[in-house]
Structure 1
Amino acid sequence: MSLSTAALATRRVLAAASHSSHEGGARTWKILTFVLALPGVGVCMANAYMKMNAHAHHQEEFVPYPHLRIRTKKFPWGDGNHSMFHNPHTNALPDGYESSHH
Structure 2
Amino acid sequence: MRPFLTVLMIVPLALLWLGFSMINAGGVEIDYYFGVVALPLSILLAIVMGVGMLLGGGAGLSNYLSMRREINELRAQVRIRDEEVVNLRSIPIKDGP
After TM superposition, the score normalised by the length of structure 2 is 0.40
Higher relative contact order (CA 8 A, sep 6+): 1
- Structure with a larger share of its residues in strand: 2
- Identify the structure with the greater helix proportion: 2
TM-score (structure 1 length as normaliser):
0.38
Instruction: Select the structure of larger CA radius of gyration.
Output: 1
